[in-house]
Amino acid sequence: MDQDLYQDPVAQRYASVEMQSLFSPLRRALTWRDVWIALAKVEQEGGLPVTPEQVRSLEQARDKIDLARVAQIERETRHDVMAHIRHYGEVAPDAAGVIHLGATSCFVTDNADLMILKTGLCSVRDRLLRVIHELSSFCRENAAIPTLGLTHLQPAQLTTVGKRSSLWLQDLVHCYREIHDLIGELPLRGLKGTTGTQASFLQLCGGDGSRVDALEQALAKELGFEKVFDLCGQTYPRLWDHRIACRLTDISIAMHKAATDIRLLQSFGEVEEPYEKTQVGSSAMPYKRNPMRSERICSLSRHVMTITPGLAQLAANQWLERTLDDSAQRRIALPGLFLTSDAILVAARNVFSGLIVHHQVIERRIAEHLPFMAAEELLMAGVARGGDRQQLHERIREYSWKAREAVLKGDENPLRRMIEEDDFFGEVASSLPPWEPHRFTGRAAEQTFRYLDDVVDLLPRPDEDHLTELRV
């Protein structure tokens, strides 16, 4: 690695080798060759002037790539596609004359891009599925553990640890479904020609449009697609780049929300992300355990969110049949989207797999505020025994504010004692069950288990074989 030149931090520090490989120059070049081989194959099978021997020659030379030689030719031609065509012809001389037959540069670049993007979406989907199942285990384990709910970041009614984390889970499940559907909908550019009219292929097919359609469908099948774009200019509609970016942005939004919640909860001491034995939290304060992985997730997520508006601008500014001012931006933005999304999910799985719950801290915080939570139940019971709702509300309000002042001074919450000493409320309180936290969590546990059983458990199990877990 050349340390005196700039390196992309996302690739260098965060993304998996799998995703780095997918967007590598070599993978791009090999995918281009796959497109050319598929073109030659369907043209040969469709009766065009391509021989089986020429197809075999292209297949046998597929992996004979010298990127330094390609770069040399590109310096001479100032054209990356032509550089690859010429080099391919050098290593497959018997087929040099039929490489790229009837095609334009966007035929190979756009079809290859869609193949790479589809593979990238599949990788993201599968990695997201692993994150979902990791988080679902945490939700199930903690479904019935009471915890203090917070609205406006202020104490509110109790919920459970599992119910709160199931809200993160639900967002991720939605993202999974959206990604899965998008993969199924993604078309291939196909055989569209220089301005989308298929004129060159129509000429090769002797003016027979049905033969062109057959060639295009055969090409899509050969390259692993079920459908092609009905209409194109020279490029496939760049609106689809933005559409893909939106789906990846949804993941970043969901993960930013979850990671932010974890950071807040860790500041309260309730929940803590995993921490290695030799990990250093602060260079100055040795005792610190900072939520650095969750912070990284937030940072990377914000980066994804910044890429997407740029792709909206790109799609909006495609003049007529095409313009080349999309090229440089796409080379930067699309790999950045996928590598960063991949990095987010790698970190997320690590966090969710080792998320720590500090039960005693949670119980202490509940004890501090539970009397306030119980006040509503007390009010309803008091009304049922014939009390005036407004008068009872005012008495509880006065007691609650006095108790709050005591808590702010560091004293134990005196609200329960005040209520028990009240002539009316004392009798009401004695008729009620004990103030146990689980009584104030409503249907939180039930909702969590139902969601896990009825929704999450019906999702496919993650395939542990084809994804390589790497740096965290």
Answer with the residue of higher pLDDT: 390 or 3: 390
Q: According to the model, what pLDDT value does residue 470 have?
A: 36
Is the pLDDT at 6 greater than 90? The verdict is no
Active-site hit among 21, 24, 267, 282: 282
| Domain span(s) for CATH 1.10.275.10 in the chain | 15-95
Long-range (24+ apart) CB contacts under 8 A made by 420-425 are 422/395, 424/382, 424/387, 424/392, 425/378, 425/382, 425/392, 425/395, 425/396
Active site residue 466: no
pLDDT in tens, 65-95: 999 999 999 999 999 999 999 999 999 999 9
Active site residue 152: yes
Is the pLDDT at 360 greater than 60? The verdict is yes
| Domain span(s) for CATH 1.20.200.10 in the chain | 105-145+157-187+235-276+288-357
CATH of domain 15-95: 1.10.275.10
Which positions ≥6 away from 110 have C-beta within 8 Å?
Answer: 189, 235, 236
| CATH class of the domain defined by 105-145+157-187+235-276+288-357 | mainly alpha
Q: Does domain 360-435 have CATH number 1.10.3470?
A: no
DSSP 136-179: HHHHHHTTT-EEEEEETTEEEEEEEHHHHHHHHHHHHHHHHHHH
pLDDT in tens, 93-118: 999 999 999 999 999 999 999 999 99
| Domain span(s) for CATH 1.10.40 in the chain | 360-435
Mean predicted confidence (pLDDT) in 21-38: 96
pLDDT in tens, 171-221: 999 999 999 999 999 999 999 989 999 999 999 999 999 999 999 999 999
Q: In terms of DSSP bridges, do strands 271-272 and 154-160 run parallel, antiparallel, or are they unpaired? A: unpaired
* CA distance linking residue 420 with residue 422, whole number of Å: 6
Residues in the chain: 472
Please say whether the beta carbons of 233 and 322 come within 8 A.
yes
DSSP state of 412: P
State pTM to two decimals.
Answer: 0.89
Q: Which of 316, 337, 334 is nearest to 109 (CA)?
A: 334
Active-site hit among 152, 210, 283, 431: 152
* CA distance linking residue 50 with residue 114, whole number of Å: 25
CA atoms within 13 A on the CB side of 199: 7
Q: According to the model, what pLDDT value does residue 469 have?
A: 43
